[in-house]
């Protein structure tokens, strides 16, 4: 009985850590340069697993094949997305993107065969628009493939804090 009392606190801590990592938050690693300059290769972020209904410009992590990708949500269900002269238009209205500074080539959702983004899907892009495998290439992202959103960087320490 003494032995059980001695290890019980450790078992509880392990169970709590597993629950937190599985359902609440867990670290994720940025792999590649597709989100530069806002996120860099090997940057460690905190994934909020409970947040699976992102809003425009949220950074999400989603399953793509056997890997996980980190991208920014640009288009929401029910919207028509297009880029003209490096400007984002949602349902014909121009929307400012203050998190990027590089040009985005002309694109519209019709190039993927859609008139609007269907329910349960999102249009995502990397911030490094000229070097990103995103919805322009891989298509729309299913909501069920979204693992959560990220808004906090914890490593490297010079990038510690909330991400834009």
Q: Among this protein's residues, is 153 annotated catalytic?
A: no
Residue tagged active-site, from 2, 5, 33, 34: 34
Q: Count CB-CB contacts under 10 A for residue 126.
A: 24
**71 is known as an active-site residue:** yes
- Please say whether the beta carbons of 102 and 11 come within 8 A: no
Residues comprising the chain, all counted: 164
- Residue 93 Cα distances to 18, 54, 62, 81, 96, angstroms: 44, 20, 27, 10, 10
Q: Which two tokens stand for residue 118?
A: 């269907």
Alpha helices in 35-124 (DSSP H): none
Catalytic residue among 5, 68, 71, 135: 71
Cis peptide leading into residue 37 (ω within 30°): yes
Q: What is the DSSP letter of 153?
A: E
Alpha-carbon distances, residue 26 vs 21, 46, 48, 50, 54 (angstroms): 5, 6, 7, 11, 17
- Which residues are annotated as catalytic? 34, 71
């Amino acid at each position: 009985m003494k032995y059980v009392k001695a290890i019980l606190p450790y078992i509880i801590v392990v169970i709590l850590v597993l629950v937190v990592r599985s359902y609440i938050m867990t670290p994720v690693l940025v792999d590649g340069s597709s989100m530069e300059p806002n996120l860099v290769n090997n940057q460690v972020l905190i994934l909020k697993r409970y947040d699976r209904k992102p809003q425009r410009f949220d950074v999400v992590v989603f399953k793509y094949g056997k890997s996980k990708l980190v991208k920014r949500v640009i288009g929401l269900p029910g919207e028509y997305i297009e880029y003209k002269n490096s400007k984002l238009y949602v349902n014909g209205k121009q929307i400012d993107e203050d998190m990027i500074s590089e040009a985005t080539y002309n694109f519209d959702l019709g190039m993927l065969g859609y008139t609007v983004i269907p329910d349960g899907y999102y249009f995502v892009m990397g911030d490094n628009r000229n070097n990103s495998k995103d919805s322009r290439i891989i298509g729309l992202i299913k909501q069920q493939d979204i693992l959560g959103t990220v808004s906090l960087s914890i490593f490297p320490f010079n990038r510690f804090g909330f991400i834009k």
